[in-house]
Amino acid sequence: MRMINLSLLSLAIASTTLSHAAFAEQALSNLFTQGKPTVDVRYRYEHVDQDNALNNANTQTVRTRIGYQTGKWYGLSALLEADNVSRIGDASYNNTRNGQRDFSVVADPDGTEVNQALLRYDFKKGNAVLGRQRINLDNQRFIGGVGWRQNEQTYDGVLGQIKPITGLTLTYSYIDNINSIFGPGNGRFDNKTNPANIEGHSHLLNAQYVLLRDSRGGPQLTLTGYSYLLGLDNIAVSGAAALGSLSSRTNGLRANAAIGNFSVVAEYAHQEDYADNPQELDSDYYLGELGYTFKAGVLKGLVMKAGYEVLEGDDGPGNRAFQTPLATKHAFQGWADVFLTTPAAGIEDAYVGFTAPLLGGSLQAWYHDFRAEQGSSQYGEEIDVSYAHPIPGVQGLVGLVKYASYDADDFAVDTDKLWVQLQYTY
């Protein structure tokens, strides 16, 4: 690939500019003597109960991820990581590849693939990464790794970050392939809304500036501007839409502020069509969120938040609402994943919830009220609860119980999901 070849050449030129005296100070063997293996094993039971004709899904899967992170040699390092997702027991669920269409979907297909394979160069003012990599920008509302699913979403391309002055971080990435959660392979049961690999040419630009810091050096006010140009050639917004209908240009501005115990987030973005999208897009995104953290007393560590998020709809034809195809969407608009695709009429999500330390673990609870952005439809409500706790006696092992209940009104069907999970990280 021409872009990768140019990037490799750039890294080589940068490396040769170091003086011979400097090279004498570091041994090539540092790549191995200072390297370390990585291991991540995650067992999950997932139950899905929907108020429709589909059979309930009962799924047991194990995700095993093994890798090796080298040490650094004059800023150069490498990472190689592979993972496998395997079913335990009967395939009483639709993983989007197994043809079990009488069951509810649990989008964790079996398979083995390279999750990350990259070269990295760190220098005084930033870094550059070339290859298959994890990319999580800001809160992952637009660009993320979908780490909740067993097969993580990773990106093939190049990413560079520069910090020219204190507080300013500039990020650019060129992507020519996205390894989606539906991989590693396609088959006769996939469709144009869930390809294993999303092809095209995408450019990600992000500029973050920390304007103020408190007395301890923590950020008090952070501004982030971004422009995400997504050329997604072989995926569609729906089964009835044309390929390329998720290609978009999204420009936005996000502000985070911390004032004492309070936190405030405000964000706006505009989306229009890009590349060869056959549909004309013109919609907006709004977010307002207020949080409060108890820093002392019996409630110390409790974080409460309330927010209002809007993804605008459009009259059509077809679904031309504001979409976030590369986001870590499970983290937004409810864990039941009812709104992975924004409805044509858009969506308004009013939510409130908290996270709190409890008995050595972490408790979360959230409530969502969903409504159409256009028209008067009330989509429904959702309650989400989870509790995570380290397992005593085994360092790196964490248990999780998680539950989501969506109560449908004018959209979709009642959906309940339950997860029980064990994850070991070394």
Map 321-361 to HEC letters: CCCCCCCCHHHCCCCCCCCCCCCCCEEEEEEEEEEEEECCE
Closest by Cα among 250, 248, 265 to 205: 250
Q: How far is CA 237 from the centre of its chain?
A: 18
84-102 pLDDT, tens digit each = 999 999 999 999 999 999 9
250-302 pLDDT, tens digit each = 999 999 999 999 999 999 999 999 999 999 999 999 999 999 999 999 999 99
User: Using the 8-state DSSP alphabet, how is residue 179 labeled?
Assistant: E
Contact indicator for 74, 18 with CB cutoff of 8 Å: yes
Say whether pLDDT at 11 is over 70: no
SS3 368: strand
**pLDDT of 316:** 86
**pLDDT of 167:** 93
Interatomic CA distance for residues 247 and 275, integer angstroms: 6
Interatomic CA distance for residues 156 and 174, integer angstroms: 9
Say whether pLDDT at 21 is over 60: no
Contact indicator for 152, 164 with CB cutoff of 8 Å: no
Contact indicator for 178, 153 with CB cutoff of 8 Å: yes
Into which CATH architecture does domain 2-425 fall? Beta Barrel (2.40)
89 φψ region: left (φ > 0), alpha (ψ -120 to 50), beta (else): left
Interatomic CA distance for residues 58 and 44, integer angstroms: 11
Q: Which pair of structure tokens corresponds to residue 117? A: 């394979």
- pTM, full prediction: 0.92
Pairing, β 415-425 against β 397-408: antiparallel
Element (H, E) at 73: none
Q: What angle do CA 58, 60, 64 make, to 5 degrees?
A: 155
Q: CB-based burial of residue 217 (10 Å sphere; 0-12 exposed, 13-18 middle, 19+ buried)?
A: exposed
- Amino acid code (one letter) for 385: V
Interatomic CA distance for residues 229 and 204, integer angstroms: 6
Say whether pLDDT at 315 is over 70: yes
Model confidence at 17, in pLDDT bands (50, 70, 90)?
very low
Contact indicator for 178, 206 with CB cutoff of 8 Å: no
In the beta sheet, which residues pair with residue 253?
A: 225, 268
33-88 pLDDT, tens digit each = 999 999 999 999 999 999 999 999 999 999 999 999 999 999 999 999 999 999 99
381-414 pLDDT, tens digit each = 999 999 999 999 999 999 999 999 999 999 999 9
**pLDDT of 5:** 43
SS3 10: helix
The mean pLDDT of 301-315, rounded to a whole number, is: 97
**pLDDT of 7:** 46
**pLDDT of 217:** 66
Say whether pLDDT at 20 is over 70: no
**pLDDT of 8:** 39
207-237 pLDDT, tens digit each = 999 998 777 766 799 999 999 999 999 999 9
Closest by Cα among 340, 271, 341, 267 to 307: 267
Interatomic CA distance for residues 360 and 345, integer angstroms: 43
In the beta sheet, which residues pair with residue 319?
A: none
Element (H, E) at 63: strand 57-69
Model confidence at 348, in pLDDT bands (50, 70, 90)?
very high
- Number of neighbouring beta carbons within 10 Å of residue 262: 11
Interatomic CA distance for residues 17 and 39, integer angstroms: 36
Interatomic CA distance for residues 39 and 424, integer angstroms: 8
- Amino acid code (one letter) for 349: D
The residue with tokens 């080298």 is: 70
Closest by Cα among 290, 286, 305 to 347: 286
